[in-house]
Amino acid sequence: MRTPRRPIHAVSTWVRRQPPKVKAFLAVVSGMAALVLLRVIVHDHDNLFVAAEAVHSIGISVLIYKLMKEKTCAGLSLKSQELTAIFLAVRLYCSFVMEYDIHTLLDLATLGTTLWVIYMTRFKLKSSYMEDKDNFAIYYVVLPCALLALAIHPSTSHHVINRIFWAFCVYLEAVSVLPQLRVMQNTKIVEPFTAHYVFALGVARFLSCAHWVLQVLDSRGHLLTALGYGLWPSMVLISEIVQTFILADFCYYYVQSVFGGQLVLRLPSGVV
């Protein structure tokens, strides 16, 4: 007699067998359903942005716990951490000279912990760093983001240098996780703490994207015009969506692994 499969396992198996176009359609439908749910549950959509920062901080805390408890940085991308530090530092500068608020303090705390992770990886735990797996050339993302920021940036009354820096940090944040995904692609096996950290990044990116989308809907598009004219308002929204979809595939396999009771996440070929 065959043991009946759990509904979640049955659904995940069915989804895995679908062609890419069907998977993309299901991802879009799931995202829209989640947005509708958040719009109903969360009345002040500014809280979504704070929640995104909080989830990101939780992910960093998990990473710190791993470095301190297990004394290893295996599976961690130093380059992703460096890109994160760059965009956070630039965003902090923009916050101080353009719009100082509570998010500035959150970014300052996140930058501090990110710099600590970089220090531990580069010096204290260097022997466990998988440098051969962390082979993503960061200039592939830094240079395009810089050029894009020069071409498309806010049209506010601030100094043009500050506006270019603002655009640069928005674009760089959207792709800063790519080196970490390359490391996981090279190893195919992701240990629990790194998986928790990357999943937290995915949730944080989704909440941030949801914040912007719902704010645009609530203002009936007026928020986009308030950000300026030209292509910049659209690029802000596109950047939020891009960074969400970059991690969507990994998050799917993470959830599947957790519900399957697997401590170590094994990624199929072609994921991330």
CA nearest 167: which of 82, 265, 81, 234?
234
* pTM assigned to the model: 0.81
Show the CA angle centred on residue 75, arms to residues 200 and 267, nearest 5°: 75
Which tens digits make up the pLDDT trace of 220-247? 666 556 566 668 878 888 888 888 888 8
> What DSSP character marks residue 158?
S
Q: Which of 192, 77, 91, 93 is nearest to 136 (CA)?
A: 77
Rounded Cα distance between 121 and 137, Å, is: 18
Please, which residues have CB within 8 angstroms of residue 270's CB and are 6 or more apart in sequence? Answer: none
Q: What is the pLDDT of residue 1?
A: 44
Q: Over the chain (272 residues), what is each successive 10-residue block's mean pLDDT?
A: 55 60 54 59 68 84 88 92 94 82 79 93 93 92 95 85 93 93 86 86 85 73 62 82 82 74 62 54
Task: Reduce the DSSP state of residue 230 to 3 states and report it.
Answer: coil
Provide the 3-class DSSP secondary structure of residue 114. Answer: helix
Residue 109, amino acid: A
pLDDT, tens digit (0-9, with 9 covering 90-100), for 95-110: 888 776 667 787 888 8
